[in-house]
Protein backbone atom coordinates (compact mmCIF):
# COMPACT_ATOMS: atom_id res chain seq x y z
CA UNK A 1 0.00 0.00 0.00
CA UNK A 2 1.28 3.44 -0.87
CA UNK A 3 0.04 6.88 0.11
CA UNK A 4 0.19 9.56 -2.56
CA UNK A 5 -0.94 13.13 -2.89
CA UNK A 6 -3.98 13.17 -5.13
CA UNK A 7 -3.87 15.30 -8.27
CA UNK A 8 -6.44 16.16 -10.88
CA UNK A 9 -5.36 12.93 -12.64
CA UNK A 10 -6.78 10.97 -9.68
CA UNK A 11 -10.15 12.73 -9.84
CA UNK A 12 -12.24 9.78 -11.06
CA UNK A 13 -10.90 7.29 -8.50
CA UNK A 14 -11.11 9.89 -5.74
CA UNK A 15 -14.69 10.76 -6.72
CA UNK A 16 -15.80 7.17 -6.11
CA UNK A 17 -14.10 7.10 -2.69
CA UNK A 18 -15.57 10.49 -1.76
CA UNK A 19 -19.06 9.39 -2.77
CA UNK A 20 -18.71 6.25 -0.59
CA UNK A 21 -17.52 8.48 2.27
CA UNK A 22 -20.62 10.66 1.95
CA UNK A 23 -22.88 7.60 1.81
CA UNK A 24 -21.24 6.39 5.05
CA UNK A 25 -22.46 9.67 6.58
CA UNK A 26 -25.99 8.99 5.33
CA UNK A 27 -25.89 11.33 2.35
CA UNK A 28 -27.43 10.47 -1.01
CA UNK A 29 -25.00 9.28 -3.66
CA UNK A 30 -24.04 12.15 -5.98
CA UNK A 31 -21.07 11.25 -8.17
CA UNK A 32 -21.31 14.37 -10.32
CA UNK A 33 -21.57 16.65 -7.29
CA UNK A 34 -18.66 14.84 -5.62
CA UNK A 35 -16.55 15.16 -8.78
CA UNK A 36 -17.23 18.90 -9.08
CA UNK A 37 -16.59 19.51 -5.38
CA UNK A 38 -13.26 17.67 -5.44
CA UNK A 39 -12.23 19.20 -8.75
CA UNK A 40 -12.74 22.70 -7.34
CA UNK A 41 -10.79 21.90 -4.15
CA UNK A 42 -7.85 20.47 -6.14
CA UNK A 43 -7.81 23.08 -8.93
CA UNK A 44 -8.04 25.98 -6.47
CA UNK A 45 -5.50 24.52 -3.99
CA UNK A 46 -8.17 24.68 -1.29
CA UNK A 47 -7.39 21.28 0.19
CA UNK A 48 -4.79 18.55 0.19
CA UNK A 49 -5.96 15.00 -0.42
CA UNK A 50 -3.77 12.00 0.31
CA UNK A 51 -4.94 8.75 -1.22
CA UNK A 52 -4.14 5.17 -0.19
CA UNK A 53 -3.56 2.82 -3.10
CA UNK A 54 -3.24 -0.95 -2.79
CA UNK A 55 -1.69 -2.19 -6.02
CA UNK A 56 -3.76 -0.37 -8.61
CA UNK A 57 -6.80 -0.01 -6.36
CA UNK A 58 -7.56 3.26 -4.54
CA UNK A 59 -8.81 2.19 -1.10
CA UNK A 60 -9.03 5.34 1.00
CA UNK A 61 -8.23 9.00 1.45
CA UNK A 62 -7.71 11.78 3.93
CA UNK A 63 -8.54 15.42 3.14
CA UNK A 64 -6.90 18.35 4.89
CA UNK A 65 -8.06 21.96 4.80
CA UNK A 66 -5.78 24.86 5.68
CA UNK A 67 -6.54 27.11 8.61
CA UNK A 68 -4.64 29.68 10.63
CA UNK A 69 -4.12 30.53 14.26
CA UNK A 70 -4.35 34.27 14.78
CA UNK A 71 -2.91 34.07 18.28
CA UNK A 72 0.23 32.17 17.26
CA UNK A 73 0.21 33.63 13.72
CA UNK A 74 0.89 30.21 12.21
CA UNK A 75 -0.90 27.92 9.77
CA UNK A 76 -2.72 24.88 11.09
CA UNK A 77 -4.64 22.15 9.28
CA UNK A 78 -8.04 20.56 9.72
CA UNK A 79 -8.23 16.85 9.04
CA UNK A 80 -11.77 17.02 7.75
CA UNK A 81 -12.29 13.71 5.98
CA UNK A 82 -10.94 10.19 6.46
CA UNK A 83 -12.33 7.18 4.63
CA UNK A 84 -11.20 3.63 3.93
CA UNK A 85 -13.28 1.19 1.90
CA UNK A 86 -15.02 -1.23 4.19
CA UNK A 87 -13.22 -4.35 2.90
CA UNK A 88 -9.83 -2.75 3.66
CA UNK A 89 -10.58 -1.55 7.19
CA UNK A 90 -8.55 -2.99 10.04
CA UNK A 91 -5.48 -3.42 7.83
CA UNK A 92 -3.69 -0.20 8.74
CA UNK A 93 -4.77 2.02 5.84
CA UNK A 94 -6.46 4.64 8.04
CA UNK A 95 -3.51 4.79 10.39
CA UNK A 96 -1.07 5.09 7.49
CA UNK A 97 -3.15 7.88 5.94
CA UNK A 98 -3.18 9.82 9.22
CA UNK A 99 0.56 9.36 9.79
CA UNK A 100 1.22 10.67 6.27
CA UNK A 101 -1.13 13.60 6.92
CA UNK A 102 0.75 14.43 10.13
CA UNK A 103 4.06 14.27 8.24
CA UNK A 104 2.64 16.63 5.60
CA UNK A 105 1.48 19.04 8.33
CA UNK A 106 4.98 19.03 9.86
CA UNK A 107 6.58 19.64 6.46
CA UNK A 108 4.45 22.78 6.03
CA UNK A 109 5.70 24.19 9.34
CA UNK A 110 2.17 24.27 10.68
CA UNK A 111 1.24 24.49 14.34
CA UNK A 112 -0.65 21.21 14.17
CA UNK A 113 -3.68 19.37 12.90
CA UNK A 114 -7.18 19.31 14.36
CA UNK A 115 -10.00 16.89 13.73
CA UNK A 116 -13.42 16.14 15.06
CA UNK A 117 -15.58 13.05 15.07
CA UNK A 118 -18.98 12.09 16.32
CA UNK A 119 -19.45 10.94 19.90
CA UNK A 120 -20.75 7.62 18.61
CA UNK A 121 -17.75 6.94 16.35
CA UNK A 122 -15.81 4.96 18.97
CA UNK A 123 -13.70 3.13 16.37
CA UNK A 124 -12.34 6.41 14.97
CA UNK A 125 -11.79 7.82 18.47
CA UNK A 126 -9.66 4.80 19.41
CA UNK A 127 -7.61 5.20 16.24
CA UNK A 128 -7.01 8.91 16.80
CA UNK A 129 -6.03 8.44 20.43
CA UNK A 130 -3.73 5.51 19.58
CA UNK A 131 -1.93 7.74 17.07
CA UNK A 132 -1.48 10.48 19.66
CA UNK A 133 -4.37 12.89 19.20
CA UNK A 134 -5.64 14.27 22.49
CA UNK A 135 -9.29 14.92 23.17
CA UNK A 136 -9.83 18.65 23.70
CA UNK A 137 -11.49 19.57 26.96
CA UNK A 138 -10.71 23.29 27.21
CA UNK A 139 -12.92 24.56 24.40
CA UNK A 140 -16.54 24.44 23.34
CA UNK A 141 -17.40 24.28 19.67
CA UNK A 142 -20.41 26.13 18.32
CA UNK A 143 -22.12 26.03 14.96
CA UNK A 144 -24.55 28.42 13.29
CA UNK A 145 -26.11 28.80 9.90
> What is the pLDDT, as a whole number, of residue 37?
97
Q: Flag whether 144 is in a domain.
A: no
Q: What is the 3-state secondary structure (H, E, C) of the chain?
A: CEEEECCHHHHHHHHHHHHHHHHHCCCCCCHHHHHHHHHHHHHCCCCEEEEEEECCEEEEEEEEEEEEECCCCEEEEEEEEEEECHHHCCCCHHHHHHHHHHHHHHHCCCCCEEECCCCCCHHHHHHHHHHCCCCCCCCCCCCCC
Q: Domain holding 82: CATH number?
A: 3.40.630.30
**pTM, whole model, 2 decimals?**
0.91
Residue range 41-64, pLDDT digits in tens: 999 999 999 999 998 899 999 999
pLDDT band at 2 (very low <50, low <70, confident <90, very high): very high
76-100 per-position pLDDT tens digit: 999 999 999 999 998 999 999 999 9
- What pLDDT, on a 0 to 100 scale, did the predictor assign at position 118? 83
How many structural domains comprise the chain? Answer: 1
In a domain, 27, yes or no: yes
Amino acid sequence: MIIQKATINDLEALTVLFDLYRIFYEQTSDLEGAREFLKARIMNDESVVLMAVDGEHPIGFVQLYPSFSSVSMVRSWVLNDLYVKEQFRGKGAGEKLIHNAIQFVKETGAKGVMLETGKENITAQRLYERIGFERESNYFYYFSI
